[in-house]
Amino acid sequence: MLFLTEEDVQRLLPMKEAVRLMRAAFEAMGAGVAINQPRRRLVLPTGSILHQMAASWGGYFGTKIYSTHVKHGAHFIFILYDAATARPLAQFDANFLGQIRTGAASGLATDLMAPPGASTAGLIGSGFQAWTQLEAVLAVRPVRSAKVYSRSPQKRTSFAERAAQDFGIEVRAVDSAEEAVRGADIVLTATFAKDPVFDASWVRPGAHINAAGANHASRREVPAEVFPRAKRIAVDSLEQARFEGGDLLLARPAAEWSAWPLCELSDLVLGKPLPEAPGDLTIFKSLGLAVEDVAAAAYVYEEAQRELGWVRN
């Protein structure tokens, strides 16, 4: 069995390839040839939480197990198996695996939903997930400038300076969420917020929103007032959204979602004919699926095999 480090994942999984893999994973989900098991959580009185999720895709299946504590951080492990034999193939340190695939899923949604000429981005959040949210958008749209806001002036300034250097575009730290959102063609949220991080009135007509931070029924980044403006809303999984999609659940009970122009990302990948509402923006609510992890991990595993000159049996 291979043991793959965070550095291996970063080196072997470029963002454009990750976006392609997410497209393939959601195509397989829509065609019914991939299986996704939603996240389950074991919550301890100490505040520690164990999260588990599993999926199959192609010739592989796998599970991600991770622990979190609000005061002590998070620790991610992913194990990849051979679908035909159930043989364990690789174990991953999976912080970066999750970061990259989460960004790539938003990149895919952006490619499917955002205006083709979108050239400006507004980012709320400057932490671990924020980096690949911006990177993925740059992989699919001709974004020339971005604004970033987070509560820490030092962190948002550092993020902006590093992103400008690495991505080769104008990235500016701003002093408020409103300044980040106003005028942006693409709005990105990647925070630990419990309550909405922007106002619906700040979002320009025609914009696309990627909300990637919250995956709990009691937490949200997107205000309820933005949903009536949506001509299309996509989630990675309706099944998972019904019990952990706080952005949607706190805006409208799941029993009433049929009134929204709501679909799964796989519907868009497969090009299904879908009705649109007469709104002026689009929204993608990302929750994070195990099938995304399996697709990304399988690619990294195969690339590592090639480096080592191994052939999968």
For the segment 144-153, the average pLDDT, to the nearest whole number, is 98
| 166 and 300 in a common domain | no
| 181 and 295 in a common domain | no
Nearest to 177 by CA among 200, 152, 148, 206: 148
Strand partners, 214: none
Confidence of residue 309 (pLDDT cuts 50, 70, 90): confident
| 152 and 38 in a common domain | no
| 245 and 159 in a common domain | yes
137: in domain: yes
Residue type, 60: Y
Domain of residue 274, CATH code: 3.40.50.720
| 68 and 113 in a common domain | no
In this model, does residue 47 exceed pLDDT 80? yes
For the segment 149-178, the average pLDDT, to the nearest whole number, is 98
Nearest to 30 by CA among 289, 252, 226, 219: 289
Average pLDDT, the chain: 96
Per residue in 221-276, pLDDT tens? 999 999 999 999 999 999 999 999 999 999 999 999 999 999 999 999 999 999 88
Answer whether 26's CB lies under 8 Å from 265's CB. Answer: yes
For the segment 156-169, the average pLDDT, to the nearest whole number, is 98
Catalytically active residues, by annotation: 64
Per residue in 14-28, pLDDT tens? 999 999 999 999 999
| 119 and 134 in a common domain | yes
| 122 and 66 in a common domain | no
Query: Cα separation of 101 and 15, whole Å?
Result: 8
Confidence of residue 214 (pLDDT cuts 50, 70, 90): confident
Which residues lie below 8 Å from residue 229, measured CB to CB, with a gap of 6+? 200, 203, 279, 280, 281
In this model, does residue 213 exceed pLDDT 60? yes
313: in domain: no
Instruction: Give the residue numbers spanning the domain of 132.
Output: 105-288
| 203 and 87 in a common domain | no
| 119 and 80 in a common domain | no
For the segment 147-164, the average pLDDT, to the nearest whole number, is 98
Give how many domains the chain has, as a whole number: 2
